[in-house]
Structure 1
Amino acid sequence: MSQNSEILSVIKIVKEKYAPDGRVEIFDIVATQGKDTVILKGETTSKLAYEELILRAGSLYGHLEDSIRLLPDETLREEIWGVIYNSVGTIRAEPRYGAELVSQGLLGMPVKVLEKRGGWIRIQTPDKYIGWINGSVKIVTKPELQQYLQKPKVIITAFSTHSAGKPKNDSFPVSDLVAGNMLVVKGSKGKFYQVVYPDGREAYVRKSDAKEITDWLKSIELTGESIVNTAYRLMGIPYLWGGTSPKGMDCSGFTKTVYFMHGIMLARDASQQVHSGNLIDDQGDFSEALPGDLLFFGSKGNGENPKERVIHVGIYIGNNRFIHASDYIHISSLDPADPLYDEFNANRYLRTKRIIGEVGFSGIETIFENEFYKQ
């Protein structure tokens, strides 16, 4: 019994060290006692966690049976990468259609493939988020992904548009497209780019709806004004739990999308985004806040629940106002005298963090510095 308690303690210690956030690192391990041995079962994405657990457990028990599955699953062989080929790929918490929508992947996004189960694929997105998707992913080897990433591309800058089968405005669509989608550019015909999808489809995209990525990167102005202007363009889009695209967004999906369209990769959830950036305020004093800063909301720790809970985020726009996704994307105020006063969020304000000027520090990276994009 004492030994059993020890192995459970070891599992907990290793999990807290290597995989404290199950959204971005899997470590689901259990120990069962056999007659003369201890059996470790489960799965993990962390090779370091696996190796340390085996080492520690081996020092506790003379007989150890290792039934841990290291992800990506070995049955995948070399095909442990993929590229999203639909405008938006739906990512769920479990491999079933009725499961919670946890995130979305955008067309052209590289993903890591962890395992397959029936028609479902467990993937990890560039922000490290893990979930299940059915369809939408072209599976490739690492050399194939590297070859794909090196090809010239365009990024869709219009928040909602479509590609066409011919370089004509009245041509039937090949698919819908949303801001942030990336397609290989094959050529140019008049007012259209000729593009290729990750799954091989070819189409045409209006040049007014897209930019070549090299030109797009040069044109980005990462300023508070530009962040707020992009946020304004998303006004009125309905709230969608798990949404990270102009088809529907949750609060952190909104902030993530706005910064993505400025070349910045933010973490997926508000409770993860709060760990990035420079702290500006945590007392409700907005005198130092600037447009583009992120405001976080939730509940502070207390005697009964000592752990802080960050559950909402918005973008500061100045004058004690912020824009956020709640029911739909709209502007609210933290000033009681303002007709847009949001008493509910004012009462659960936690802190203000600055992203602009912090790229390269405190967990903030540009899209193409992300390890998934620079294979």
Structure 2
Amino acid sequence: MDRRITPARNDLAADWLRDHVKAEQYVGGAPRTVIHDGAPLYFMPDQNAGLESQLIYGEIFQVYEDRDGWCWGQNLTDSYVGYVPTAYLEADLPAPDHQVVALRSHLYVEPDIKRPTAGTISISARVKVVDVSGSFCRIATGHWVHSRHLICLEYGTQDIVGTAIKFIGVPYLWGGRSAEGVDCSSLVQIALAMAGVSVPRDSDLQESAVGVEVPMD
């Protein structure tokens, strides 16, 4: 089985894999919401390990183990498996109803562009709007986002090329999935996701899932 998308180790595996892999223990896991945009996902619990992928703000990460400041689990958006710092996840946040359509949007501590910011979130990030003040929306984490940068999930966009064009000038980053840096397969993944099309994380998996062979002639 592909270790990139299979939550299984010799000592621990997801309960739904009980009949497919051998492990010392099986657990159901618990969902947590990503609260740090571009949260790093590693193959092992080590910040010096190579970046496998990133988690986008608002994605759901199914946690199968939380130990020593690291959560091991699976990103429910694209099934990618790995370790993420526990501090970048939070439990019990309400389901999102909006997503970010700007390449990058600031998180403000108050609904005022002159007030301090608490970070940024990238295009495709999902949030729950709980209040509105002027041209700002307050999201479930308590931060404020400019309303022009959000769109209701029920609408979305079909402009795949338009989404991709927004990334012109964004540097290449192996494993990147945010406005800070992307790789080739994540650019495809994000552009399609904004149009409501879910595809796997890596190019070979994308080819198998949605690829269509194009004749050379």
TM-score norm. by structure 1 comes to 0.53
Residue in 2 that maps onto 1:269: 202
Contact 2:199 2:210 in 1 (8 A): no
For residues 32-111 of structure 1, what are the structure 2 equivalents within 5 Å?
42-45=11-14, 46-50=17-21, 68-72=24-28, 80-111=30-61
Residue in 2 that maps onto 1:244: 177
Q: Which secondary structure state, in structure 1, belongs to the residue aligned with residue 137 of structure 2?
A: strand
Contact 1:245 1:254 in 2 (8 A): no
Distance in 1 (alpha carbons) for counterparts of 2:72 and 2:8? 15
Which of 102, 107, 117 is equivalent to 1:158?
A: 102
Distance in 2 (alpha carbons) for counterparts of 1:83 and 1:166? 22
Going from structure 1 to structure 2, the CA distance change for 1:190 and 1:97 (only over 3 Å counts) comes to same
Give the counterpart letter for 1:193 in structure 2. C
Contact 2:110 2:144 in 1 (8 A): yes
Q: CA RMSD in A?
A: 2.0
Deviation larger for 240-249 or 79-88: 79-88
TM-score norm. by structure 2 comes to 0.89
Q: Which secondary structure state, in structure 2, belongs to the residue aligned with residue 111 of structure 1?
A: strand
Q: Which runs of 5+ in 1 are unaligned?
A: 1-19, 30-41, 54-66, 73-78, 286-375
Residue in 2 that maps onto 1:359: none
Distance in 1 (alpha carbons) for counterparts of 2:83 and 2:185? 19
Query: 1:212 deviation in Å?
Result: 2.7
Going from structure 1 to structure 2, the CA distance change for 1:153 and 1:271 (only over 3 Å counts) comes to same
Going from structure 1 to structure 2, the CA distance change for 1:191 and 1:28 (only over 3 Å counts) comes to closer
Q: Which runs of 5+ in 2 are unaligned?
A: none
| More contact order relative to length (CA 8 Å, sep ≥ 6) | 2
Going from structure 1 to structure 2, the CA distance change for 1:163 and 1:28 (only over 3 Å counts) comes to closer
For residues 251-290 of structure 1, what are the structure 2 equivalents within 5 Å?
251-277=184-210, 279-281=212-214, 283-285=215-217
Distance in 2 (alpha carbons) for counterparts of 1:26 and 1:194? 35
Give the counterpart letter for 2:206 in structure 1. Q
Going from structure 1 to structure 2, the CA distance change for 1:260 and 1:167 (only over 3 Å counts) comes to same
Going from structure 1 to structure 2, the CA distance change for 1:105 and 1:162 (only over 3 Å counts) comes to same
Give the counterpart letter for 1:228 in structure 2. V
Distance in 2 (alpha carbons) for counterparts of 1:211 and 1:245? 18
Going from structure 1 to structure 2, the CA distance change for 1:175 and 1:90 (only over 3 Å counts) comes to same
Q: Which secondary structure state, in structure 1, belongs to the residue aligned with residue 212 of structure 2?
A: strand
Q: Does 1:205 align with 2:145?
A: yes
Q: Which secondary structure state, in structure 1, belongs to the residue aligned with residue 151 of structure 2?
A: strand
Query: 1:278 deviation in Å?
Result: 5.2
Deviation larger for 87-96 or 203-212: 203-212
In proportion to residue count, which structure has more helix?
1
Distance in 1 (alpha carbons) for counterparts of 2:99 and 2:8? 35
Which of 139, 143, 155 is equivalent to 1:195?
A: 139
Give the counterpart letter for 2:60 in structure 1. P
Distance in 1 (alpha carbons) for counterparts of 2:166 and 2:199? 19
Query: 1:204 deviation in Å?
Result: 1.6
Deviations 1:110-156 (A, max 9, x none): 11101123111102002111000112111x3xxx46xx22xx63211
Distance in 2 (alpha carbons) for counterparts of 1:93 and 1:213? 31
Residue in 2 that maps onto 1:176: 120
Q: Which secondary structure state, in structure 2, belongs to the residue aligned with residue 96 of structure 1?
A: coil
Q: How many residues were matched structurally?
A: 213
Give the counterpart letter for 1:44 in structure 2. A
Q: Which secondary structure state, in structure 1, belongs to the residue aligned with residue 163 of structure 2?
A: helix
Contact 2:108 2:117 in 1 (8 A): yes
Contact 2:176 2:186 in 1 (8 A): yes
Structure showing greater Rg: 1
Calculate percent identity across the aligned residue pairs.
23
Distance in 2 (alpha carbons) for counterparts of 1:129 and 1:232? 25
